[in-house]
Chains A and B, each alone.
Chain A
Amino acid sequence: MSAAPQKAKPGAEQLAVRVSAVVPLNDLVTRFEFQRTDGQPFPTFSGGAHTVVTMQDDGRTRLNPYSLMSDPADTSTYAISVRRDDQGRGGSLFMHTRVKQGDEMTITYPVNLFSLDLRARKHLFFAGGIGITPFMSMIHQLEQSNGNWELHYSVRTEALGTYVDELKYKFPTKVHVYYDDQSQSIPLETLLDGQPLGTNAYVCGPKGMIDWVHATASAAGWPDAQVHSEEFLAPAPGKPFEVRLCKSDKTIQVGENESLLEAIERAGVEAPFLCRGGACGQCETDVVSYDGEFIHRDHWLEPEQQAGEKIMPCVSRFVGKSLELDR
Chain B
Amino acid sequence: MSKFQFPESIKSRPVYGTLEPRPGKAHLMIADAEGAEAILDLAAQDASLMAHAHIIYIPKGTDFGDKLRALNPAQYYEGPSYDASVQRLRHVLANAHQGLQVYLTGTEGLMGQAQNEAMQAGIPHTSIQTEHRGSVARRMQCVHCKGITEDVMTDPFVCSHCGLNLFVRDHYSRRLAAYQGVCIDAEDPGNVPEPKELYT
Contact = CB atoms under 8 A, between A and B. Distances in A.
Interface string A225-237: 1100000000000
A132 B76 CA distance: 45
Contacts, number: 56
Nearest to B27: A221
B127 A197 contact: no
A220 B127 contact: no
28 contacts: A119-B122, A120-B122, A121-B122, A192-B99, A193-B99, A194-B97, A195-B97, A196-B97, A196-B122, A197-B93, A197-B96, A197-B98, A197-B121, A197-B122, A198-B98, A199-B122, A219-B23, A220-B24, A220-B25, A220-B99, A221-B98, A221-B99, A221-B100, A223-B123, A223-B127, A225-B124, A225-B127, A226-B124
Contacts of B23: 218-221
Contacts of B97: 193-197
Contacts of A192: 98-99
Interface string A98-134: 0000000000000000000001110000000000000
Main secondary structure of the interface of A (DSSP, over half): loop
With most chain B CB atoms within 10 A of its CB, the pick from A198, A199, A219, A225 is: A198
Q: How large is the interface on B (under 10, 10 to 19, 20 to 34, 35 or more residues)?
A: 10 to 19
A197 B123 contact: yes
Given A199-B98, A221-B99, A193 B25 contact: yes
Interface in B140-154: none
Contacts of B126: 223, 225
Contacts of A218: 23
B200 to A, nearest CB: 38
A121 B25 CA distance: 19
B101 interface: yes
A198 B122 contact: yes
Nearest to B26: A221
Contact of A220 (B96, B98, B122, B124): B98
Nearest to B126: A225
B22 interface: yes
B174 to A, nearest CB: 14
A14 B111 CA distance: 49
A221 B98 CA distance: 7
A222 interface: yes
A195 B98 CA distance: 5
Given A197-B97, A198-B121, A225-B124, 5 more contacts: A195-B98, A196-B122, A221-B98, A223-B127, A225-B127
With most chain A CB atoms within 10 A of its CB, the pick from B22, B96, B99, B123 is: B99
A224 to B, nearest CB: 7
Interface of B: 22-25, 93, 96-101, 121-124, 126-127
A25 B96 CA distance: 42
Interface residues of A, number: 20
Interface of A: 119-121, 192-199, 218-226
Contacts of A226: 98, 124
Given A193-B25, A197-B93, A222 B122 contact: no
B127 A224 contact: yes
B125 to A, nearest CB: 9
Given A193-B25, A197-B93, A222 B98 contact: yes
A224 B23 CA distance: 12
Contacts of A224: 127
Contacts of B124: 223, 225-226
Nearest to B97: A194
Contacts of A221: 22-25, 98-101
A225 B98 CA distance: 12
A248 B23 CA distance: 51
A119 B23 CA distance: 24
B123 to A, nearest CB: 6
Contacts of B99: 192-193, 220-222
B100 A197 contact: yes
Contacts of B98: 192, 194-199, 220-222, 226
Nearest to A219: B23
A192 B99 CA distance: 8
A320 to B, nearest CB: 39
B4 to A, nearest CB: 28
Contacts of B22: 221
Contacts of B121: 197-198
Contacts of A195: 97-98
Contacts of A219: 23
A192 B121 CA distance: 18
Contacts of A121: 122
Contacts of B24: 220-221
A120 B122 CA distance: 7
Nearest to B120: A198
